[in-house]
């Protein structure tokens, strides 16, 4: 089982994402933004960071990287894709996910252990959680406020596509406390907080994040 992790210029969390993939028991394969070759991976992670310096808008330029053309093509036929933080922003800019991530209310860059609730365990990235599980993983971003129009919000809610929600006070102004969503098919998931920084108690606040990475193994093995 091979999980690709894309490195864009300005990606920060690609190594932690690859480490999380290995900790989950899969092979992590480095993918390069300028190379359209996905190297026969079974799933892809778009990691956090500041790809292309977040110039213009977060993810706006990364969306047009050669590797994204291949990822969009494969995502549309069911390949699991997880975008974390900047990766989530790229997925929205790519129109693989609806809505957009905008500047945090209060304008501060946040870096904090964040409680979230897992709201949908039917996706390939969340199937190893218990429905409604409350976990704590780091939230660290400046533009994490999920925004979309009312119609899209109703659709996300009614179709169960809000996969994770912030617990407690709204940290960034996200509509309906949204921390993560999926596409209609469920294979593409965007998540603002960082599970890859919480896979063991030595380096993270918890080990709660590991289940995102073991989930995709379960999903692929089950096929």
CB closer to other proteins, 24 vs 92: 92
Distance of closest approach, residue 63 Cβ to other proteins, in angstroms: 9
Counting residues that bind other proteins (by CB under 8 A) gives 21
**3-state secondary structure string, the chain?**
CEEEEEECCCECCHHHHHHHHHHHCCEEEEEECCCCCCCCCCEEEECCECHHHHCCCCCCCHHHCHHHHHHHHHHCCCCCEEEECHHHHHHHHCCCCCCEEECCCCCCCEEEEEEEEECCCCCCCCCCCCCCCEEEEEEEECCCEEECCHHHHHHHHHCCCEEEEECCCCCCCCHHHEEEEECCCCCEEEECCCHHHCCCCCCCCCCCCHHHHHHHHHHHHCC
104 is a site residue for other proteins (CB under 8 A): yes
Cβ-based neighbours of 154, under 8 Å, separated by 6 or more: none
Residue 221 within binding range of other proteins, rule CB under 8 A: no
Which residues sit opposite 117 in a β-bridge?
134, 165
Cβ neighbour number for residue 149 with a 10 Å cutoff:
11
Contact flag: residue 99 with other proteins (CB under 8 A): yes
**Smallest distance, other proteins to C-beta of residue 143, A:** 10
- Catalytic residue of the set 119, 143, 148, 194: 194
171 touches other proteins (CB under 8 A):
no
- Residue 39 or 95: the one with the smaller Cβ distance to other proteins is 95
**Is 194 a residue of the active site?**
yes
Active-site residue flag, 111: no
Site for other proteins in 54-73 (CB under 8 A): 56-57, 60-61, 64
Structure tokens that stand for 200 in this block: 């063991």
Stretch that binds other proteins, among 26-34, 73-81, 145-153, 180-188 (CB under 8 A): 145-153
Determine if 2 is a binding residue for other proteins (CB under 8 A). Answer: no
Asked if 107 interacts with other proteins (CB under 8 A), we say yes
For residue 137, the minimal CB distance to other proteins (Å) is 24
User: Should residue 100 be labelled a site residue for other proteins when binding is judged by CB under 8 A?
Assistant: yes
User: Which residues lie near other proteins (CB under 8 A)?
Assistant: 56-57, 60-61, 64, 92-93, 98-100, 102-107, 145, 147-149, 173
Q: Which residues are catalytic?
A: 85, 194, 196
């Amino acid at each position: 089982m091979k999980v690709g992790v894309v490195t864009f210029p300005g990606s920060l969390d690609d190594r932690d994402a690859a480490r999380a993939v290995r900790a989950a028991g899969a092979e992590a394969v480095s993918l390069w933004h300028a190379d359209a070759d996905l190297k026969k991976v079974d799933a892809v992670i778009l990691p956090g960071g500041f790809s292309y310096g977040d110039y213009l808008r977060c993810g706006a330029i990364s969306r047009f990287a050669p590797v994204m053309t291949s990822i969009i093509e494969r995502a549309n036929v069911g390949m699991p894709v997880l975008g974390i933080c900047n990766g989530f922003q790229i997925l929205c800019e790519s129109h693989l996910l609806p809505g957009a991530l905008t500047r945090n209310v209060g304008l501060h860059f946040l870096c904090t252990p964040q409680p979230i609730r897992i709201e949908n365990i039917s996706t390939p990235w969340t199937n190893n959680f218990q429905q409604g599980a409350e976990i704590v993983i780091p939230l660290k971003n400046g533009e994490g406020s999920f925004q979309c129009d009312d119609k899209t919000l109703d659709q996300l809610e009614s179709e169960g596509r809000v996969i994770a929600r912030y617990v407690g006070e709204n940290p960034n102004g996200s509509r309906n406390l949204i921390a993560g969503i999926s596409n209609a098919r469920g294979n593409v998931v965007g998540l603002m907080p960082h599970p890859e920084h919480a896979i063991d108690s030595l380096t993270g606040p918890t080990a709660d994040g590991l289940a995102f990475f073991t989930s995709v193994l379960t999903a692929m093995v089950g096929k």
